[in-house]
Structure 1
Amino acid sequence: MAMPEGRLHLACVQQELRADDYVSEAAFYRRVDAWMATIRRRVGQEGPLLVAFPEDVGTFMVFFGHGDILRRATTLPEAIAALIRRRRLEVMVRRLRCRAGWVRALALTLGPAVERAYRRIFSEAARRYRAFVVAGSAVLPAPYRPCVTANVAYVFGPNGELLGWQPKTHLTPIEGPGELDIAPAPLDELRVMPTAIGLALNSS
Structure 2
Amino acid sequence: DADIPEVESAVSYGFPQQNINLLGIQPDMRAGDYRNAQSLYNKLNGYLLQARQRDWIGERTIVIFPEYIGTWLVAANEKESVYSAPTMSAAMQALVSSNVFQFVWYFLDTSAEDRASSALFAMKGAQMARQYAAVFSSLAREYAVTIVAGSIVLPEPRVIDGRIITQSSGPLYNASFVFQPDGTPAPTVIRKVYPIEDELPFLQAADVDTLPAVDTAAGKLGILICADAWYPDVYARLASENVRLAVVPAYLAAGDDAWNRPWRGYNGAPPPADVNPLDATRLTEGEAWNRYALPGRAPRYGMYTGMTVFLRGTLWNLQSDGHTLVLRQGQTIEAPKTDGAALVNLWL
SS across alignment from 1:94: helix
Match of 1:151 in 2: 174
Q: Which digits, 9 at most, give the CA deviation of each residue in 1:47-84, with x for residues without a partner?
A: 51111001101111111112513333111122112212
CA–CA distance in structure 2, aligned partners of residues 72 and 49 of structure 1: 36
CA–CA distance in structure 2, aligned partners of residues 67 and 23 of structure 1: 9
Give the counterpart letter for 1:129 in structure 2.
Y
Give the counterpart letter for 1:196 in structure 2.
A
Q: What's the C-alpha RMSD, in Å, of the aligned pairs? A: 2.2
Give the counterpart letter for 1:156 in structure 2.
F
Maintained 8 Å contact 1:29/1:121: yes
Match of 1:184 in 2: 205
Query: Given the superposition, is the C-alpha separation of residues 188 and 69 from structure 1 closer, same or farther in structure 2, using an over 3 Å criterion?
Result: farther
Match of 1:169 in 2: 193
CA–CA distance in structure 2, aligned partners of residues 44 and 187 of structure 1: 33
Matched, 1:113 2:134: no
Matched, 1:83 2:91: no
CA–CA distance in structure 2, aligned partners of residues 106 and 23 of structure 1: 16
Give the helix-richer structure, 1 or 2. Answer: 1
CA–CA distance in structure 2, aligned partners of residues 185 and 196 of structure 1: 27
Question: How many aligned residue pairs are there?
Answer: 195
The one of 56, 62, 67 aligned to 2:68: 56
CA–CA distance in structure 1, aligned partners of residues 105 and 45 of structure 2: 36
Give the strand-richer structure, 1 or 2. Answer: 2
Percent identity between matched residues is 28
Give the counterpart letter for 1:117 in structure 2.
Q
SS across alignment from 1:7: coil
Q: Which digits, 9 at most, give the CA deviation of each residue in 1:21-53, with x for residues without a partner?
A: 111111111111111111222135545111100
CA–CA distance in structure 2, aligned partners of residues 69 and 42 of structure 1: 38
- Structure 1 residue 95, shift from structure 2 partner: 2.1
Q: Which runs of 5+ in 1 are unaligned?
A: none
- Structure 1 residue 17, shift from structure 2 partner: 2.0
* Larger RCO, structure (CA 8 Å, separation 6 or more): 2
TM-score, normalisation: structure 2: 0.52
**Bigger CA radius of gyration:** 2
Q: Which runs of 5+ in 2 are unaligned?
A: 1-16, 159-166, 221-242, 245-347
Match of 2:118 in 1: 104
Match of 1:7 in 2: 19
Give the counterpart letter for 2:212 in structure 1.
R
Range with bigger deviation, 184-193 or 145-154: 145-154
